[in-house]
A and B are shown apart, each in its own frame.
Chain A
């Protein structure tokens, strides 16, 4: 019996995607061509690094980094 396919929802700015076979956040960023240095990554309300392992049904929210003052 094979591994259960991972499908996650990704929210960034005003857009949403359902991505299949993205097992880490790094996969998500690569599929959407987003530079990890420009966003903060949250999964289910917790900030995570790009190596974070995703589970089926996870909601990944990307937030643009702000640095001004």
Chain B
């Protein structure tokens, strides 16, 4: 197998080319191909993740283009999953991309059939993250999540039955009801952190284990906070 495309990153991996081959065989399911998903998908496709399952039901709108860098002006009106697949294939023709033009609740059996090594939340709401957290706990698949608003955001990870889960931390929190302001760098930054976490997970590391990274790009503040399983958590049991 020709690994020239990845020659600059091979020295970063403990097992060099054999780790790259593991990434090429890996599967990731990504829910949401918006601001978070744009950054996540670009960087995981570039890094050589072999199979990406992309789930999104929306079409590209002009107001998406300040942050959803997978899309161009000529994609307006096109389904996001179609435009995303074309762009990612142009970047790296060797990867497999499965698209699902539907909502998460209608895609669960497709996720199970795909059999991802990691599931990644790139959605824009708390309720979807809670559903995904429960699905990942049920399927025992590691989960990466992120959330953003304005200049601020966070990224975390769930290792089923080992670490704190999403609901241990956010189970009693309120979702933001109004559409929050956002500039592209914020979901871009959070999506890149998610991609970093997922790549490391695929290489048997445990990034953000019982931790959440918070960032504020207005204040240039970055905080790594410790978390723990919540006793009696309604999702993981604590």
Is A46's CB under 8 angstroms from B187's CB?
no
A67 CA to B228 CA in the complex, in Å?
20
* Contact for A69 among B122, B170, B174, CB less than 8 A: B122
Contact-residue bracket for chain A = 10 to 19
Secondary structure at the A interface, as helix, strand, loop or mixed, is mixed
Residues of chain B contacted by A69 (CB below 8 angstroms) = 32, 34-36, 121-125, 146-148, 187
Total residue contacts A-B, CB cutoff 8 A: 71
Is A67's CB under 8 angstroms from B175's CB?
yes
Residues of chain B contacted by A36 (CB below 8 angstroms) = 172
Q: Does A34 contact B (CB under 8 A)?
A: no
Q: Does A40 contact B (CB under 8 A)?
A: yes
Q: Does A18 contact B (CB under 8 A)?
A: no
Q: Does B192 contact A (CB under 8 A)?
A: no
The contact string, 1 if C-beta is below 8 Å from chain B, for chain A 14-31, is 000000000000000000
The contact string, 1 if C-beta is below 8 Å from chain B, for chain A 36-54, is 1110101001110100000
Is B228's CB under 8 angstroms from A46's CB?
yes
Is A47's CB under 8 angstroms from B124's CB?
no
Extra pairs beyond A67-B129, A68-B125, A69-B124 (18, CB < 8 Å): A36-B172, A38-B173, A45-B226, A46-B225, A46-B226, A46-B228, A47-B227, A63-B214, A65-B170, A66-B149, A66-B180, A67-B125, A67-B126, A67-B149, A67-B175, A68-B149, A69-B122, A69-B125
> Which positions in A face B, CB cutoff 8 Å?
35-38, 40, 42, 45-47, 49, 63-69
> Which positions in B face A, CB cutoff 8 Å?
32, 34-36, 121-126, 129, 146-150, 152-154, 169-170, 172-176, 179-180, 182, 187, 212, 214, 223, 225-228, 230
